[in-house]
C-alpha cells in the first residue's frame, strides 16, 4: 500500500474505494441544449459589507442577557444578532416605491 492510502485507510484491493466504479463515456448527441443565464452574484457582491456606524446604546439587563444567551446557543455574536434584528425591522418598515418611483404612505394602524 502507498503511504497515502495507508493514512486514509482506503484499501487498494479491487472493488474497494472511489476508483472501483468506472464511468463509461459515449460520444452521443446531447440533444437540445439551452444556455442558462449567469444568475450567481459576482465575487465583489459576495464580499460586500454594509458600512457600519458605531453607537452607544443602553439596553435593559433582561434584553442583553437574552441576546447573549441566544448568541451562545447559535455560536454567533450578540451584537450581530441585535444588528440583524434592527435591520430586519427597518426592512419591514420601509415604505415601498410606487410604479412612478414615488414613495407611498403606509396607512396607520
Helices and strands, number each (H, E), in the chain:
4, 0
Contacts of 103 (CB under 8 A, 6+ apart): 95, 96, 97
Reading the chain (109 residues) residue by residue, the pLDDT tens digits are 444 444 444 555 555 556 678 888 888 888 888 888 888 888 877 777 788 899 999 999 999 999 999 999 999 999 999 999 998 899 888 867 555 555 555 544 4
Interatomic CA distance for residues 66 and 37, integer angstroms: 44
Interatomic CA distance for residues 9 and 31, integer angstroms: 42
Indicate the domain borders of the chain.
Answer: 57-92
Interatomic CA distance for residues 38 and 94, integer angstroms: 30
CA 33 to mean position of chain CA atoms: 30
Compute CA distances 8 → 13, 20, 21, 47, whole Å. Answer: 14, 16, 19, 35
Please report the pLDDT score of residue 2 as a whole number.
47
Amino acid at each position: 500500500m502507498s503511504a497515502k492510502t495507508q493514512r486514509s485507510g482506503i484499501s487498494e484491493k479491487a472493488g474497494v474505494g472511489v476508483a472501483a466504479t468506472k464511468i463509461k463515456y459515449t460520444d452521443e448527441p446531447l440533444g437540445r441544449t439551452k444556455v442558462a443565464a449567469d444568475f450567481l452574484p459576482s465575487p465583489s457582491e459576495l464580499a460586500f459589507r454594509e458600512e457600519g456606524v458605531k453607537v452607544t446604546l443602553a439596553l435593559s439587563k433582561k434584553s442583553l442577557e437574552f441576546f447573549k444567551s441566544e448568541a451562545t446557543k447559535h455560536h454567533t455574536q450578540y451584537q450581530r444578532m441585535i444588528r440583524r434584528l434592527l435591520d430586519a425591522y427597518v426592512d419591514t418598515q420601509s415604505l415601498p416605491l410606487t410604479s412612478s418611483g414615488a414613495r407611498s404612505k403606509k396607512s396607520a394602524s
